[in-house]
Amino acid sequence: MKSSVVRLAASLQSLSGDSIAVILAVGFVLGTFPVYGCPTVFCLLAAFALRLNAPLLQLVNQCTSPLQLALLIPFARLGQRILHLPATASGSIFSRVSGLTLQAIAGWACISLPLGLLLFIALSRTLRRRQRARFHQLASPA
């Protein structure tokens, strides 16, 4: 366990600020997807498609899993307002769960995607500024 943590920390140090910002933003957005099990698959696909550090992206995904559960009901309520679908009290359990899932995905898309973009921009600027400050600190004579 300790060796895997050391390898993960070493791989994190070799990443640029933009790569770290992308990993955190994508991991946060995909980690809050309101269908259980899907974020893991989506993060793995995103890691291959965007050539990101897959273990680090999965770590961010797992860290956001409590948010996934906490945001399920708010996403569903927002999706209900967006899609104008009435809450079905009757019908089969499958139709109720599928309706709730559709509403939660709609709410997630309207909130998480724009917030993920804002998160990426904020993290990217912050990490670039920090990298420049560290460079100037190393370049100045002591």
> How high is the mean pLDDT of the chain?
85
For residue 74, give both structure tokens.
């708010």
Residue 142 has pLDDT above 60, yes or no: no
- The pLDDT score that the predictor gives to residue 93 is 78
pLDDT in the model for residue 23: 92
Q: What is the DSSP letter of 36?
A: T
Whether pTM > 0.95 for this model: the answer is no
| Range 83-90 average pLDDT | 68
Helices (H), 64-92: 65-70, 72-83
CB 68 within 8 A of CB 62: no
Neighbours of 4 (CB within 10 A): 9
The SS3 assignment for 85 reads coil
Q: Residue 33 above 70 pLDDT?
A: yes
Q: Quick one: average pLDDT of 31-60?
A: 93
CB burial of residue 83 (10 Å; 0-12, 13-18, 19+)? middle
Higher pLDDT, 55 or 135: 55
State yes or no: pLDDT of 5 exceeds 90. no
What's the confidence (pLDDT) of residue 107? Answer: 93
